Structures are given as structure tokens and as C-alpha cells.
Chain A
Amino acid sequence: MAKGEAHVTLQGVTRVYPGVAGQQPVHALGPLDLELVKGEFFSVVGPSGCGKSTLLDVLAGLASVTDGAIRFEGVPIHGRVPDGIGVVFQEDASFPWLTVEDNIAFGLRQNSVEAGEVRRRVDHALSLMGLKDFIRAYPAQLSGGMRQRVCIARTLVLEPRLILLDEPFGSLDQQTRLLMGDELLRLWRETESTVLLITHALDEAAMLADRIGVMSARPGRFLEIVETGWPQDRDSRIVARPEFGRITGRLWSHLRVESLKALGQDRPPL
């Protein structure tokens, strides 16, 4: 992708969880450098426990860095959530006491958006996410994947300029994943927002992203940043291309070693 304006910059970002009650501190992340270009689709893959969710927390301003600095649109983030960032968490974060509709409208109402506009945006998000028939359902009545869709919808309605997604399709089946991937690509093109997608599915990363950051076992750092070179108007059909296989192969060659490290088996078994 063409080099554009830097949207987010990370310099030497490190996060160490302090040891509470006599426990050892946990060095979860970094030091890590990264520059996200405005409007790019960046994906992060890495072994379990390598600090991906931690990276998301510091990027969103939910946790402060132990060392280093993060800038979003030129302004430093330290432990405060700036305006313009939307997050879909790894865990289900829908509000169980609100209907699907009220869950999606919640953020807009917090910002005192006018009722007609709320209606319009919520309706749009509902049909986009295939939730039209569940407007008045409560999260408890939905499947895990549908609840995650509610969380995506409520992030989208706020029209964030930077969208952070932590394994949003983790609870979906493979087919739905691919289709939701297409949906996400369409949204990304439509909204022109910068997207950072954390995933453990290599094919998902390879299919969706302009660039893929491959993380090492904890403490997570980028081993390599792979450029996919996909055209902007791509969709899930690129999985049939030969380059797709080459990219996933390359990701896996890194991750095989790192995943074994994460499992505590440094040498691959014969």
C-alpha cells in the first residue's frame, strides 16, 4: 500500500503488569515500534498469551504503557481513551440488561446524538450485521457469534476513525468468518477508517490485511511485518490465489516456532 499519513505511532511501547500480592511482574509486551498509516488495514497474529490484547489495551488508552509512547493523530495517549477510537473486545461485552437495539444505540445516546440520527444509524448497523430480526432480543437469547455482531455493530455506529478488533470472529464458524470478513472489508472501504485486527486465524489475517504484524511469544514484539499487496477492493475470493498460500505459509513458518515457545516446548518435536 502507498505510504500515507501516519495515523498511529508506537515507539518503544512496553507493558509490564506489576506483580500484585508477592507475584512476579509480567513483562507482557514490547519494546515495540509500529506506524499505522491512515486508512490501512493492519492485522496482528501471534501465539496465545503473547500480549495481543495488551497491545489493544494500551492502544485504546485503557492501560498505560510502562515505557515508550503512543500517538494517535499526533496526540499522545497515556492511559486515557481519546475520541475517535472504537473497540471490539475479545470477551463478550454486550450489556445483558439492554436489548440488541438499545445496546447498539447506547454509545450514540451517551454522546447525545439526536433521536432521528440514532434511529438511522442503528437501523443501518442492524441490517449490515444481519440482526434485523433480533432487535428486541436480549443478549442472553443470542448465540455467542450474534452477541459479537452486536458488539461490532455498536462500535460501527459511532463511526470511529480507528477501529480495534480483538478476535471478533473467534466464536464464529469458518464459513461465517469468511463472510464476516467480506463485510468487514466493505465497512473498512466505506468508512475509510484505520483498522487493527487481532486474530489467531492466519488465513483471516492473510485475506483481510494490507499488512500483517507477526508477534513473538511473550513478551510480544514484531518478528516481521508482512505486506500482502492486495488491491483495495478485495474480498474472500482471494483465498484461491497462489499468493494467498504463500503468505499464510510465511506466517506459519514464524508462528510455528513461536507457538511452540508459548507452549513451553522450545524445540520442535520430531
Chain B
Amino acid sequence: MSRAGWIRVSVVVAAVAAVELLCQGGIITRFTMIPPSEMVVALAGILTSGRLTPAIVRTLRIVGIALAASILVGFVLGALLHALPRVRRTVDPLFATYYAIPIYAFYPLFIVLFGLGDVPIIIIGFLLAVVAMIVSTLNGFDRIPRALLKTARIYRMGRVRTALQVMMPCAAPYIFTGVKLAIAYSFIGVIGAEFIMSGSGMGYEIAFAYNNFDNKVMYPLIMLVLVLVTIINMFLHFWEMILFERRRRG
């Protein structure tokens, strides 16, 4: 690991240790927070008892659906908009202001339209993630150097070959960034939506525990979400290094 990496890990360890000491010393009361060590034990208990497994599985499934849809639709829309500059000029300003819209405000509307099931939650996760994917795809295609496209024409490659063998690999790092953002946004969207108005899922369980002052469930679940997202990010970072590191000027 790099020096910066070690420093990063040390900071996290120190912060957790400090919280542990403050909790154990009674400076942070048990009504506010349980010590991190107890969170780990409680989390292990929750995971092994299987009590919350359906909620966890459900959330992951919904995130997965929202994510897959946003990556697919985002990429296709991004590629289409890139190919249709006139349409793009009209919708471009929308993207710039998109994340200023509080999408959760539309949640009641989605419930009216689609009922109380998974669909409104999937839609929120999708809507949060899809635009990041569109913008990243556009960004990637915009940055293809003109000389590379000219080279493809000198090689007399057709449109499909140019798209698959020149444009895609060239834009890949940006598209990958889009996927990373889409993962983060779909988690935020889905867990947030469950938190507000759902009757199941991890977000709901956290909110339920919170309303019942049940710190022994709430904190371990928060920890679980953090751990999950961290693992996914580390995995993505690893892949990014494998796929794109050699392309970077160093």
C-alpha cells in the first residue's frame, strides 16, 4: 500500500478507536451511540440469526435492478445524444440542473402511479443514477481525439467497427466512472426511498430501529451499509487499476 494509503487507514482506525473510547468512558451515552466493538458483535448476531436477511437481500436486489437499468439506459441515451447534436443542444441544460431537483419529492407521485411495491423505489434509484451515466458517456465520447476518428477512417472502418473498436475503448475510462457514480447514486436512491416510505428493506429497518430507539439494530445496519459500499468501491478501484492504469501518463 502507498504512504497515502497507510495514512488513510490510520486516520480511520484512529477515529474508530476514539469513538470506542468515548463510548466506553460514558462521554457518549448509550442512548446516543453504542461502542463500535458492540456494533460489530451485534452485526454478526444479526447476520447469523438471518432475521434481517430478507431485508438485505431485497435492498440489494432493488439496487441491482435500478443500477442495471440506469447503466444500460444511460449508456444508450448518452450514445444517442452524442450522435444527435441538435437534440443534445436542447437537453444539455437539463443535465446541468438535474441534480438540483429533489427527486424524493416526487415519491408520492410515483406511489400513486405505480403502487406501494418495489417499482417506485426502483424508479428513484434509477432516476438518481441514470443521468450520471448519461453525462459520463457523453463526456467520454466528447473526449475522443479527432485524430483517432480520422485514423479509423483512414483504415476504412465502418461505423459499427469504429464505434466498437475505437470509440468504445477510447471512452471506456469515462464510462467506467459513470458506472461508479451510478452505483453510488442507486444505493443512495434506494436506501433513502426505503427510509422514507417503504415497509421493508435495509433503509426501512434502519428507520424502524431509529423510531424504537433500538441502537443495537440501527448502528450495526448503518455499519453494514458502510462496509458494503466500501467493499464495492475497493473492488471497482481494483478493476480500474487493472484496466486503465497503463493508459495513464505516469
Contacts and interface: CB of A to CB of B under 8 A. Distances in A.
Interface of A: 57, 60-62, 81, 83, 85-87, 89-93, 95-97, 106-107, 110, 138, 140-141
A241 to B, nearest CB: 36
Contacts of A140: 246-250
A106 to B, nearest CB: 7
Nearest to A93: B147
B155 A106 contact: yes
Contact of B250 (A57, A89, A141): A141
Given A91-B147, A95-B166, A97-B172, A110 B155 contact: yes
B166 A85 contact: no
Interface residues of B, number: 21
Contacts of A85: 154
Contact of A96 (B153, B154, B170): B170
Contacts of A96: 170, 247
Contacts of B154: 60, 62, 81, 85-87
B155 A107 contact: yes
A138 B246 contact: yes
Contact of A89 (B150, B155, B249): B150
B153 A89 contact: no
B153 A62 contact: yes
Contacts of B248: 140
Contacts, number: 55
A87 B148 CA distance: 12
Interface of B: 145-148, 150-151, 153-157, 161, 166, 169-170, 172, 246-250
Contacts of B246: 138, 140-141
B156 A81 contact: yes
A91 B146 CA distance: 9
In order of increasing CB-CB distance, the 8 nearest A-B pairs are: A93-B147, A91-B147, A97-B169, A89-B147, A138-B246, A140-B249, A93-B151, A96-B247
A93 B155 CA distance: 13
B150 A87 contact: yes
A118 to B, nearest CB: 14
B151 A89 contact: yes
Nearest to B247: A96
Contact of B161 (A60, A110, A138, A141): A110
A61 B154 CA distance: 9
A107 B155 CA distance: 6
A239 to B, nearest CB: 31
A107 B247 CA distance: 20
A95 B153 contact: no
Contacts of A60: 154
B170 A97 contact: yes
A97 B247 contact: yes
Nearest to A86: B154
Nearest to A154: B151
A140 B249 CA distance: 5
B249 A91 contact: no
A95 B169 contact: yes
A62 B246 CA distance: 31
The CB with the most chain B CB atoms within 10 A, among A60, A62, A86, is that of: A62
Contacts of B145: 91-93
Given A93-B150, A95-B151, 19 more contacts: A60-B154, A61-B153, A81-B153, A81-B156, A86-B154, A89-B147, A89-B150, A91-B145, A92-B147, A93-B151, A95-B148, A95-B166, A95-B169, A95-B170, A97-B169, A97-B172, A107-B155, A110-B155, A110-B157
B168 to A, nearest CB: 10
A138 B155 CA distance: 21
A90 B157 CA distance: 21
Contacts of B169: 95, 97
A171 to B, nearest CB: 14
Nearest to A137: B246
A59 to B, nearest CB: 12
Contacts of B161: 110
Contacts of B148: 93, 95
